[in-house]
Amino acid sequence: MKWIFVPIIFLLPFNLHAQDDMSSSHPTKAVSNCMYKGWDISLAYFFGGPMNFSSSGADISITNLTFNKYYAPDFGIRYDYIRNDGFGFTFGGKYMFDRSLTHAKATSGGMSVTASGGNASISIALLEANVTYYLGSAYWYFGPNYSAPLLANGDGTTASGSVGGQIGLGWDWGNNISNIDFGSGRVNFEIYAQDVVFQFNNFISGSGADTVNWIGGGFKIGVNY
């Protein structure tokens, strides 16, 4: 009977070694009940249409405030604590790259004028905080954001930040598509809708602060470490 036990004892170290490799292969998964716990670095595309708003201090509506492109890449970094058994949270920020203003249509008293955007351009740094909730194969998230717009060549117009919000749905590609990894990180994919709110100051000469709601949607691919 000795020949039966020898192979079993011989193979035992290999089984233990395999279990050790599996437990250490994904450090972001090591925390119990967490889908993600760590820093998420991402690239996103936000698709935002023309802006519409009314100028304060003047009976003028601004419509079709249009950019040279409705979409541009966003670079983001945030901290994720996304649990796979209920509620979690994220917080961080992203930079929405420069878009050039091309033209705007001003309407007052039934008369309309279309003006060129000149050399004006805008980029936005956006701070975000979200509550997350896991739904079995995906996670929902929603929360507020705060914008810090950077307006260049505004010709007397300045921009200031305000509070908006977003809602989105994300999937862990590391689990669902052939265990995709990037180094030691876990790949995720999200789709979202977002309202970026800011103010134009003195957009029309003599006017005050005009609140702009820039509503759109996008998608994001991130790697969590």
**How many CB atoms are located within 10 Å of the residue 23 CB?**
10
What confidence score (pLDDT) does residue 183 get? 56
Q: Please list the pLDDT of the chain residue by residue as tens digits (225 residues).
A: 444 433 433 333 434 344 444 344 444 444 457 777 889 999 999 988 777 777 666 667 777 777 776 677 899 999 999 888 889 999 999 999 988 877 777 777 667 777 666 678 889 999 999 999 998 888 999 999 999 999 888 777 888 999 999 999 998 876 544 445 555 678 889 999 999 999 888 776 656 778 888 888 999 999 888
* Phi, psi angle pair for 171, to nearest 5°: -130, 145
What confidence score (pLDDT) does residue 139 get? 93
CA–CA gap between residue 145 and residue 164 (Å, rounded): 5
Domain boundaries, the chain: 32-224
**How many CB atoms are located within 10 Å of the residue 132 CB?**
22
What CATH number was assigned to the domain covering residues 32-224? Answer: 2.40.160
**How many CB atoms are located within 10 Å of the residue 190 CB?**
19
Is pTM, for the whole model, over 0.85?
A: no
Q: Which two tokens stand for residue 7?
A: 């192979």
49-52 long-range Cβ contacts below 8 angstroms, 24+ apart: 49/215, 49/216, 51/212, 51/213, 51/214
